[in-house]
Chains A and B, each alone.
Chain A
Amino acid sequence: MTTVLAICVTVIVTVSVYLMLSRELKSIAMGVFLLGHGANLAIIAMSGSPVLPGGDLRQPPILGGENLVDALPQALILTAIVINFAVMGFLLTLLVVTARKTGTLNVDELALEDPPVASPEPDRTADRGVGR
């Protein structure tokens, strides 16, 4: 089981690093999310036995009667998933706002301090009602 998990983690992290090396913010965001999932799987793999002794995948791992797996890593992962979810929501919102305001999600174009396009002032007044 641990071997399977280790292979999964490797694949996920590889894909996420590939995505994060992109110049496009959408791909970078997807890479970051994938990395989070890889991290959670890594914790499961590190926590010793991720399923009940004997490798029974059909039984719930914590409510298994006599034999229980360590519940703490599961609690840690639950917390990490919630945090990851919140960050994901925030990042996606920010991407939408950025795309609307700047018209680009390319890292190189965003890095320019003073855009060649219109000044930001009209945008500011246009969406004043949004954040209330």
Chain B
Amino acid sequence: MTDNLLGLLVVIPLATAVASVALIRHRIPQRVLGLVSFGSMLVLALGWLSEIRDGDVLVSQMGGWQAPYGITLVFDSLSGLLLCAGLVVALGCYVHSFSMLDPVTERRYFHPLIQLLIVGVNQCFLTGDLFNLFVGFEIMLMASYGLLVIGGSRRQLGQAYKYLILNLIASTVFVVCAGLVYGMFGTLNLADLARIVDARVASGEGLPPGFVGVSVLLLFVFGAKGAFFPLWFWLPDTYHTCPVPVAALFSGLLTKVGVYAVARTFPLIFAVGEARDVVTPLLLVSAAVTMLLGVLGAVSQNNVRRILAVHVISQVGYMVFGLALMTTAGLAGALYYMVQHMVVKSSLFLCCGVMERHAGSDDLDRLGGLLKRDRFLGVAFFVAAMSLVGLPPLSGFFGKLVLVREGWADHWWLSVVALLTGLLTLVSMLKIWTKGFWLPPAEQAPPAPGRDGDTGSGDLRGAYAGIGFLVVVAVLIGLAAEPIYEIAFHAGEQLTDPSAYIRAVDPHGLIAAGGATGGGG
């Protein structure tokens, strides 16, 4: 099906960003504009998601240039679900920021930057070719660099470079990979690539030399962005220093885009034929180590924000687990896990922001007695934390259920690691719960200075609205697991059998008829 309005999901935030720059001195109009932008995108995306519930694929060819010659935007089950989840997270964090950011930080182009971040994220999810994926990554990363050092405190500047340099190197490798792929196949359109690779494997012609090398290089690129083992070292320090709404948004969106890129390109193209024998073991080992090391790191921390940040890594391990299986159910489980993780993790970070506001610190030794002081926060945190752990009927349970069951047959050891990780997650979450909420406050510790960029007004209504919204959505994802899984399974089928995807991108059969035959110009 064709829907030429898909471009709106990129145009709306871009236009809002430009308008926000013009209104940079006026806080309230900027906020209203931002809310309108997020709200309208969410409505559009949910509308399209309900259209593709039966496994359809919406396609928009930019400027009427047919694939593989033009730029293609694709809204299928995989990108649709993640897009909606991403917009929900962005809306929640945005509302939260109204009461958590101080006016000085907010005036430093916070609103335009957050819109630009969404431009990049949406483009990554929607794009149908490899080079535009790179461009989307770059837009997202540029905005994230800006948000990371927003406020410009010494600590932020000192820690930002790790993230910056690693991502710059990864991006450069990505461009080289795009060039190599173009040299090998004469096209960068994902549907076209999938068709060529498939045809060459089926006909026994084999893949060009160096194809496996490109696969592994791309795995490095996406792994660096998605924080897979052994490329996760930048993450804890980065999320530790920026303002809470930004950290929450990053935890929900940035790593997931890396995982999405693997899910989109590897089952279709880069893990086909002999490349699969190389990539799959890498993914399996990476999944196990990421899960286990991440959660062990989290248990060892004594600082709410660090515990949550290191947990992001551990959760990425579950998603890689699903990807590594490369079966319909495995991919569907990974997708559902990503959706629920984005919402749950961001809401936990937002809770952490309010905890810091109450206690002046996120050090667990300074916290305590928050349940008496702020009952709403306690309940919200508990629901989100148990959802992360995977207690039925909350959303994390259904994600883990499918993954563990699917992995049990071929890779039982990985399922065992996943279950063990779940147990350790419970330990670390209970640590926050007991020390932060349950036990009485510690003896009069001297109040620590507030974190940079977080000292806004005393009004917490925006913060509660953001947390409440995300926690309610997290519970709904658990209760509505079946319809979401229906879409997720369609996504899994489309990834394991790309013929529907190719047909949708190229309804007139241009690619199959005359397009590039491959073989390097």
The interface of chain A, by Cβ under 8 A from chain B, is: 20, 25, 28, 32, 35-36, 38-40, 42-43, 46-49, 70, 72-73, 76, 79-80, 83, 86-87, 90-91, 94, 97-98, 101-102, 107, 110-115, 120-121, 123-124, 127-128, 131-132
Contacts and interface: CB of A to CB of B under 8 A. Distances in A.
Contacts, number: 114
Given A76-B131, A131-B152, 14 more contacts: A28-B161, A39-B172, A42-B179, A43-B179, A48-B183, A48-B520, A73-B182, A79-B135, A94-B149, A94-B157, A97-B149, A102-B154, A120-B452, A124-B151
Interface of B: 24-25, 104, 107-109, 131, 135, 138, 142, 145-146, 149, 151-155, 157-161, 164-165, 168-169, 172-173, 175-176, 178-180, 182-183, 449, 452, 520-521
B152 A101 contact: yes
B176 A43 contact: yes
Contacts of B155: 113-114, 120
B474 to A, nearest CB: 32
Nearest to B149: A94
Contacts of A127: 152
A92 to B, nearest CB: 12
Contact of B175 (A20, A39, A101, A128): A39
Contacts of B109: 131
A123 B178 CA distance: 43
Contact of A46 (B158, B160, B179): B179
25 contacts: A28-B161, A35-B172, A36-B175, A38-B172, A39-B173, A42-B180, A43-B182, A48-B520, A76-B179, A76-B182, A79-B131, A83-B138, A91-B164, A94-B164, A102-B158, A110-B157, A111-B158, A115-B154, A120-B154, A124-B151, A124-B153, A124-B452, A131-B104, A131-B108, A132-B25
Chain A interface mostly helix, strand, loop or mixed?
helix
Residue among A36, A83, A90, A111 facing the most chain B CB atoms (10 A cut-off): A83
Contacts of B158: 98, 102, 110-113
Contacts of B151: 124
Contacts of A123: 153-154
A43 B178 contact: yes
A35 B25 CA distance: 39
Residue among A101, A115, A127 facing the most chain B CB atoms (10 A cut-off): A101
Nearest to A97: B152
Contact of A49 (B24, B157, B175, B521): B521
B157 to A, nearest CB: 5
Nearest to B178: A76
What 6 pairs across the A-B complex have the smallest Cβ distances?
A: A48-B521, A43-B179, A46-B183, A131-B108, A120-B154, A110-B158
Nearest to B183: A46
Given A73-B179, A110-B158, A110-B161, A83 B135 contact: yes
B161 A107 contact: yes
A115 B318 CA distance: 37
Contacts of A36: 168, 172, 175
